[in-house]
Amino acid sequence: MLDFDGTLVEIVDRPDAVVIEPALAILLQRLKGTFQGRVALVSGRSVAQLDAFLGPALDGVAVIGSHGGEIRAGDWRMASVRPASLVAAERELGVAFADRTGAVIEVKSMGVAVHYRLAPDIEPAARALVDRIAKERGLAVQEGKMMIELRVAGHDKGSGIAALMVKKPFAGTVPVFAGDDVTDESGFNAVEALGGFGVLVGPDRPTAARYRLADVAAVRAWLEQAA
């Protein structure tokens, strides 16, 4: 089980600027074959976003999107309903940062994020606004690398992994999850509880992951060996 941004691909300044090399698409399909379909992406991105980036490379690969709010595995689908409160939050964030150069509003199926990598000075205002909207509209706040997100409450990457692990062909196997961000900690906890382990990608920090890889290049090298 693999996170996307910061694990399979490098984090970029704008969330829509990710470029997928043919080698990554080939690697995912090789892994699917080696592990007999027991490969999944686990991302804060929506399933639709991952489809747009990876296309046929996801054929036969399970996808947990929107921090566990969406799951696709073979013919099985699970998805939350996008609430009106999230639509209203999206509008409010868009208006608030419309004239702030470098601020990027990323709209997801089950969330909306403010990215401030290109405008770090807006972080305090973004955090304050997101916290207020979350309290007023009953949404969850999700921290990330140079971003903060409002999302539908009641799920996370850990709950998504737990739901997937009772489905074939994952049921009865040992889960391994690689991720880089604080958003992946729930996933690390979930795989530990299921008898597996997490792999932190990036600099060492307090984490529930048992092992660590230095960066995206190290993840790719590890997966090439596994495939």
- Peptide bond between residue 169 and the one before it cis (omega within 30 degrees of 0): yes
Q: What is the pLDDT along the chain (227 residues), one digit of tens a residue?
A: 999 999 999 998 888 889 899 999 999 999 999 999 999 999 999 999 999 999 999 999 999 999 999 999 999 999 878 889 999 999 999 999 988 889 999 888 888 999 999 999 999 999 999 999 999 999 999 888 899 999 888 899 999 999 999 999 999 999 999 999 999 999 999 999 999 999 999 999 999 999 999 999 999 999 999 99
Task: Please tell me the CATH superfamily of domain 84-151, with its number.
Answer: Trehalose-6-phosphate phosphatase related protein; domain 2 (3.30.70.1020)
Instruction: Please report the pLDDT score of residue 79 as a whole number.
Output: 86
104 three-state secondary structure: strand
User: Which listed CATH number (3.20.20.70, 1.10.10.10, 3.40.50.1000, 3.30.360.10) goes with 22-80+155-226?
Assistant: 3.40.50.1000
Instruction: Please report the pLDDT score of residue 84 as a whole number.
Output: 92
Q: Which of 3, 156, 181, 184 is catalytic?
A: 3
Instruction: Show the 3-state SS of 107-144.
Output: EECCEEEEECCCCHHHHHHHHHHHHHHHHHHCCEEEEE
Instruction: Please report the pLDDT score of residue 64 as a whole number.
Output: 97
Catalytic residue status for 3? yes
Entry pTM? 0.88
